Amino acid sequence: MSNAPLPQQFQQQMQQQLGDDYPAFLTALQQPAPVSIRINPKKAVLKTENLEPVLWCAEGFYLPERPVFTLDPLFQAGAFYVQEASSMLIAEALRQTARLQRPLRVLDLCAAPGGKSTLLASLLAADGLLVCNEVIRSRIPVLKENMEKWGLPNVVISNHDPEDFKSLNGFFDIVLVDAPCSGEGLFRKDPEAMLEWSPDSVVFCATRQQRILTAAAPLLCDDGLLLYSTCTYNDSENSQNAEWLSEHGFENQRLELPASWGIQEQTFNKVTGYQCYPHRVKGEGFFLSIFKKKQRSSPEMGVPRTFRSLKPVRNWQVKTLQSFLKNPDDYSFYVKPNEEVFAIPESLVADFRLLDSALHNKGFGLEMGIFKGDDFIPSHALALSTAIADTLPGIELTREESIRFFKKENLVLNDPVKGWLLARYNGLNLGWLKGVGNRVNNYLPKEWRIRMDIKEY
């Protein structure tokens, strides 16, 4: 928490909202923000027995202190995501309200940097589809990097305004609107949010949220779920938007949460939302309200017969591509005009064709790499993917060697190696090496290189 005083009007608002709890809230804001992570169940190598669990998310854990995550090879390999604990409530909300065993189509409409997208990806069945959308183009690389680390192939990343999704009305089973907000719940963790706060910014955010919800609402199929969340406390951005949804074709859903979790159920005009306050839960401020779309008839959508610009790869290339995958028959392979090759899960080809015709700026499925003549250069995303074959040659690195790998240094190995080799740490792939004579070239993409100055390994 910074030493700057809380804005006067914010203090009044919170005094009114919290009453006798207000002093405890102020005290909590002076405490250090707890540090929590969420484990990637597909890369579960981290020992968690001695870590305090996050009560509402089976994969969530608190750390006793904040390590330098950048220098942890397991973090770089996508073994966990650093996520504020309150926002993991989405896991429990979906566990109670969604039929997660079914192959659901899910849209995370405001997705960057990808915290909740990684959570949604882990909750989905293997044949489910996750579209992670972010409107601000400069935030796409971080979203892409986080999703690549997480390593699931059933993901589409798109860069669109919510209003651009119109032709996908009725397509999704779940839409998460984790809305851009005034960030009152982040004042402890991110003092910048406090400096940007003003009553006018609250009004601005509430209006923008309503525009996003207006675009999101038609995208759901009958009985589809809309999750609306913010990391703020005020009524204009939370309960009033929740009420608006309940007046526009959505039925509010209640959760059963044990009182011992400290999450506050708030009901306004018969609409219920769930608020995390830092003096009641070990986490930051977070609001969540869940809605089911009332029955309407969803439009039938025709699936285009081909992709707009993706072409199937050549026959001779298929064998090479298949040799890199655990379950090769589950995928079909396509090439983009820029020669990049992609694997798309067979079960999702029709959905991907539909998305291809509906959205212009997007990336699909698993990026495999690129053919250069007869050679195939595998991509970094493939190294990190959970779909990669376990039988490919690799070399287990020490922690220091792993960090040197992420500094993009060339490694010196005891034995000469030839060809593509996976750099591994604790059995998890970190990226590609290629042995050429006595040298081992490091194929970490430039943009992934750790730029931090490291005095001691």
Ligand X SMILES: C[S@@+](CC[C@H](N)C(=O)[O-])C[C@H]1O[C@@H](n2cnc3c(N)ncnc32)[C@H](O)[C@@H]1O
Provide the binding-site residues for ligand X, judged by CB under 6 A: 110-116, 134-136, 139, 162, 178, 180, 208, 212
CB of 358 to ligand X, least distance (A): 17
Ligand-binding annotation for 356, yes or no, is: no
Ligand-binding annotation for 110, yes or no, is: yes
Ligand-binding annotation for 162, yes or no, is: no
CB of 301 to ligand X, least distance (A): 23
Q: Which is nearer to ligand X, 162 or 369 (CB)?
A: 162
Ligand-binding annotation for 273, yes or no, is: no
In which region does residue 332 sit, left (phi positive, over 0), alpha (psi from -120 to 50) or beta (all else)? beta
State the catalytic residue, choosing from 132, 205, 221, 231.
Answer: 231
Q: Which is nearer to ligand X, 208 or 279 (CB)?
A: 208
Inter-residue contact 341 to 369 (CB < 8 Å)? yes
Continuous H helices in 98-220: 115-123, 140-150, 191-196, 199-216
Residue 176 CA neighbour count, 13 Å, CB half: 32
Q: Is 57 one of the catalytic residues?
A: no
Residue 108's closest CA among 131, 142, 139?
131
Ligand-binding annotation for 340, yes or no, is: no
Residue 19 neighbours by CB under 8 Å, 6+ apart: none
Inter-residue contact 215 to 163 (CB < 8 Å)? yes
Q: Which is nearer to ligand X, 134 or 145 (CB)?
A: 134
Ligand-binding annotation for 114, yes or no, is: yes
Query: Going by DSSP bridges, is the β-strand pair 220-230/172-178 parallel, antiparallel, or unpaired?
Result: parallel
CB of 162 to ligand X, least distance (A): 5
Ligand-binding annotation for 243, yes or no, is: no
CB of 86 to ligand X, least distance (A): 11
Q: Which is nearer to ligand X, 118 or 320 (CB)?
A: 118
Q: Which is nearer to ligand X, 190 or 367 (CB)?
A: 190
Residue 289's closest CA among 334, 238, 333?
238
For 135, the 3-state DSSP assignment is coil
CB of 88 to ligand X, least distance (A): 10
Ligand-binding annotation for 389, yes or no, is: no
Residue 38's closest CA among 56, 23, 24?
56
Residues listed for the chain = 457
3-state secondary structure 249-285: CEEEECCCCCHHHCCEEEEECCEEEEEECCCCCCCCC
CB of 285 to ligand X, least distance (A): 12
Inter-residue contact 309 to 336 (CB < 8 Å)? yes
Residue 89 neighbours by CB under 8 Å, 6+ apart: 56, 57, 263, 274, 276, 286, 288
Cα 111 from Cα 139, distance rounded (Å):
9
Cα 342 from Cα 321, distance rounded (Å):
9
Residues classed as catalytic: 231
Binding residues for S-adenosyl-L-methionine: 110-116, 134, 161, 178
Binding residues: 110-116, 134, 161, 178
